[in-house]
Each structure stands twice: as C-alpha cells, then as structure tokens.
Amino acid sequence: MAIDDLPDEHEQGERVRTWLRENGLGILAGIVVAFGLVGGWRWWQGNQHAQRVEAGMTYQRMVADLASGDLADAQRQVGALQGGSYGVLAALELARAQVQAGERDAAIQTLQGADASDLALEPIRRQRLGQLLIDAARAEEAVALLRDASDATSLETLGDAHAALDQTAEAREAYARALAQTDVASPGRGLIEIKLAAAGGEPTPNEAS
C-alpha cells in the first residue's frame, strides 16, 4: 500500500466514530455487566460475612442460655440459626443439655430438626440421634438412620441398634466393621471387642489388639 493510500487523521477519526456507533452500546453493556458482577460478588461476600458474624453471636447467646439453664430460650436461638455449621453445633449442645435435664424426646426432636447438609458434623449428629433412638426403644429408626454409616462410632451405634432388636448377625457385622476402623490404641476399642464377642464374633488377626 502506498503512503498516499493511508487514511488521514480525519478519515481515521470518522472510522473510529462509525465503529463506536455500531459497537459502542455493546461495549458499554459489557462494562456495565462487568462492574455489576464485581459489585454483586462484593455484596455477596459482605452478606456472607455478616451472616457468619450474626450466626456466631446467636451461637454465643445460646451457649449463655445453656449455662444459665434457660433451655427454652436456647431452643429459640437454635431455631434462629436455621442451619449451617453453627446451627448444627448449637443443636448438638442443646440436645446434650436436654438429655441431662431428662428431656430425651425433646433432644431427639432437636437433632432430627438439625441441618443434615454439613458433611463434617452430620456423622456426629446421626450417631447421637441413633443412641437416643435406641434408648427410646426406637431401634428400628436407628437402624434406618445409620444403615449407610461408614465411620467407626456410627457403626458401633448401628451394631447397638441391631443388638437391641436381637439381630445378632447384623450386630456382629457392624461391630466387626467398627473394630476394623478403630485404632489399636483407641480407648474405646476394648468395648467394641466386648460387644463383638457378645454377638458371637471375634477380631480377625489384623484387628486383634
């Protein structure tokens, strides 16, 4: 291309203005969307932080209620948390206090109503609920609750539920699985071995302490 063929500044300006007329709205929309996404993300982060702070404060109020023996207000605080890790922790604490106060059925309801989506705390919730169901002569419900358990403590409780129903073979299997997952140095290992023996089983060479 010859130098004379190159567009002069006026022509270049016209081309730029034409291009902006054709594409300017799209660019502007993209900028607006980008800023909107950034703003939305920051709002979401701020909102999540505020919710965590509020949940922490509610949990502390619940702990204070338990310390003072006000189970009714503690229960209201648990209801206000409505799920999340703080909600599960609060439900576990409230249920323990209810059991100590002789309110087993209330403790069962508390644990049944707790959020089951927290993967870290769900095994603890289910295991404690299973124990209470067995104590309430509702072992069938405990078996259904813990049927797919995989951690040692829950498997031991599953064995207890089967034993309460005189389901010896199932109890033996659950205890054996629990023992296989329990460290040799664990303080609770001896009790599992006793339960396994009572169900007609014995540790395998790899499980024996």
Q: How far is residue 58's CA from residue 53's CA, in Å, rounded to a whole number?
A: 9
Q: How far is residue 11's CA from residue 46's CA, in Å, rounded to a whole number?
A: 49
Q: How far is residue 66's CA from residue 56's CA, in Å, rounded to a whole number?
A: 15
For residue 132, the Cα-to-chain-centroid distance in whole angstroms is 20
- Domain regions of the chain by residue span: 44-118
Exposed/middle/buried for residue 92 (C-beta within 10 Å: 0-12, 13-18, 19+): buried
The answer to whether 102 and 90 have CB atoms below 8 angstroms apart is no
Judged against a pLDDT cut of 70, whether residue 119 lies above it is answered with yes
Alpha-helical regions (H) of the chain: 9-68, 71-81, 84-100, 104-112, 122-135, 139-146, 152-164, 168-180, 189-198
Lowest mean pLDDT among 3-7, 150-154, 189-193: 3-7
pLDDT confidence of 20, banded at 50, 70, 90? low
Residues 33-62 have pLDDT tens digits of 566 655 664 644 655 555 566 667 877 888
C-alpha distances (whole Å) from 9 to each of 16, 24, 30, 61, 119 are 10, 21, 28, 71, 65
Residues 64-113 have pLDDT tens digits of 878 888 888 888 888 888 777 888 888 999 999 999 999 999 999 999 99
Cα Rg of the chain, angstroms:
31
Q: How far is residue 47's CA from residue 41's CA, in Å, rounded to a whole number?
A: 10
Tally of CA atoms within 13 A in the half-sphere of 142 that contains its CB: 27
Q: At what angle do helices 139-146 and 152-164 cross, to 10 degrees?
A: 150
The answer to whether 135 and 99 have CB atoms below 8 angstroms apart is no
For residue 29, the Cα-to-chain-centroid distance in whole angstroms is 40
Which pLDDT score, from 0 to 100, does residue 1 have?
47
pLDDT confidence of 117, banded at 50, 70, 90? confident
End-to-end CA gap in the chain = 89
Which pLDDT score, from 0 to 100, does residue 66 have?
84
Residue range 157-175: mean pLDDT, rounded: 98
pLDDT confidence of 175, banded at 50, 70, 90? very high
